Structure 1
């Protein structure tokens, strides 16, 4: 799936992914900075991954783990520091949560500091860290 947002491409095509950019960001994150390169590569291989690209430069990423029947776990969401404040994170979450593949599945995620972002897309706090989004068909 490809989606154009201004001068950016949001895509789940793993062939476009810059694995070095993804590893670099995750190494700077609070949640994945101790993961080995091997674990990161295996997690990407086993997940649905979305990238945001400006020309060939990867500026964003999100990973979705799913059974494709009942639920998905949204994780490893990032926007490169130089590209924040442009609505890219919001558009990425919108594309994922409104996609035909995920909109009718229960969404789960964990965050320490981005609750307000995810609440805009119907995720609700389940505890201090975890959030849940009911499938569209249950919220309708």
Structure 2
């Protein structure tokens, strides 16, 4: 199980530490990409993914979340990255994504993708770049 610290926070991939109700509340009410997502849908997403939480080291309260869909061999999709509003601007988001990257590094993945409308700077700090040839990528489903 991957675990690291960042200031007063612990970042962990331990699924037993996740606060699923809190994650659902954050995403379904405050994340533009998941507004209105049902609890059942969120619980299913958590169950089928590699999950990371950031926790207050003193209280144990979950402060941030990130989810990865991966085959652990060639590809990963980073999604549902969320930092609770009071902790934003502290560098926790960057530290969380760096911990995800570091956790996945031994798998030798060819590619880790993500989509963001407003946090490019967070991801660029740890090495993400825009797609060199976005015209090669396609999607099926509602955009």
Indicate the TM-score class for this superposition, using the shorter chain for normalisation: 0.7 to 0.9
- The corresponding residue for 2:116 is 111
- Counterparts in 2 of 1:1-140, with a 5 A limit? 1-27=2-28, 28-54=30-56, 55-101=59-105, 104-105=108-109, 106-126=111-131
TM-score of the two chains, using structure 1 as the length reference = 0.85
Report how far residue 70 of structure 1 moved: 0.4
- Tell me the CA shift for residue 103 of structure 1: 6.6
**Structure showing the higher strand proportion among its residues:** 1
RMSD over aligned Cα, in angstroms? 1.7
Instruction: State the TM-score, normalized to the length of structure 2.
Output: 0.83
Which runs of 5 or more structure 1 residues have no equivalent in the other structure? 130-140
> What is the number of equivalent residue pairs in this alignment?
128
- Consecutive unaligned residues in structure 2, runs of 5 or more: 135-143
Deviations 1:61-105 (A, max 9, x none): 000000111010000001000111111001011111122556731
